[in-house]
Amino acid sequence: MTIAVTRADNTAPPLAGWPLPAARYSAANRATLTCPAAAAMLATPQLLSLITTRSATMRRFENKVVLVTGAGSGIGQGSALRIAAEGGSLFCVDLDQASAEGTAQQIRDAGGEATAHACDVSNEQQVIDCVAACVAHYGSLYAVINMAGILRFDDTREIELGKWQKVLDVNVTGTMLFCREALPHLIDSGGSIVNAASTAALAGLPCGTAYSASKGAVLAMTRSIAIDFAKQGVRANCVCPGDINSGMTEGIEWPATMDFDLMPRIVSISGAKGPEAISGVIAMLASEDAIHITGEDIRVDGGTLS
């Protein structure tokens, strides 16, 4: 992941993203923490071109409707573009209408079908209305890709309850609400769910108490959904991204007690990658190529936890 660092002393960081404060690392270490090409790929025409090229001969989502949350940027956007390039009709959901519309417009400009919809995933009524609007517009729903989420770093001794709750409301409750509302339609279509967990659900994330707890909950919830609805033909899986340049971490404020020496343990061997590194995995899990895969969590972390 790319992290824009705001240090506890409120001074400007030496770099806008990885690596973290330069004095902490040798040149060799810094080389493993930065991936300029991946960072430059975010929300650019190059991303659309790359994803479209890779999937040009695949039409796994022809005549299928896919709803993607967090579709305005990062992994959600990359997933929407990838699935659209494979013939899917996209319902692009984001908290910000303009961001959702930007992704939908890219899809339409490339000859695909897409609709944008603004939704606060933590608001029950908005989620109910969102899924209903998708089905009303397209007539069916084949897959839900839950990529909306927020990230915080906090010293557990200092975390404010409201900020803790906000992370859980978006990452856990938002995911649950979309699964709940979509499931009747997914049963009808024999469809699938792909939820965003994280390597933080599988190993410790420094100062990541709220985020790690939320992603662990998503992982457990997805497994329960998988066994509950397997007989109805619905699959549910998680992806566990590692250091993916998603834009999610821009503007992060670090707690004063953060030990930056712990950060290299969450960085992949080959350095961070852009959304294209995970969008293909998400598309596979959503498609019938994963017909016998359910209740799984697939790490996309460049070997970080290996």
Question: Among all residues, which ones are annotated catalytic?
Answer: 211
Distance CA 72, CA 31 (A): 30
SS3 state of residue 183: helix
- The tokens describing 27, both together, are 């040149």
- Cα distances (Å, whole numbers) of residue 111 to 86, 96, 126, 218, 287: 11, 23, 29, 34, 21
- The tokens describing 2, both together, are 């790319």
- The tokens describing 258, both together, are 């953060």
Cβ burial 193-204 (10 Å sphere, 16+ → b, else e): bbbbbbbbbbee
Confirm if 48 and 106 have CB atoms less than 8 A apart.
yes
Number of C-beta neighbours around residue 186 at 10 A? 23
Distance CA 161, CA 167 (A): 10
Distance CA 47, CA 27 (A): 29
Q: How many residues does the chain have?
A: 306
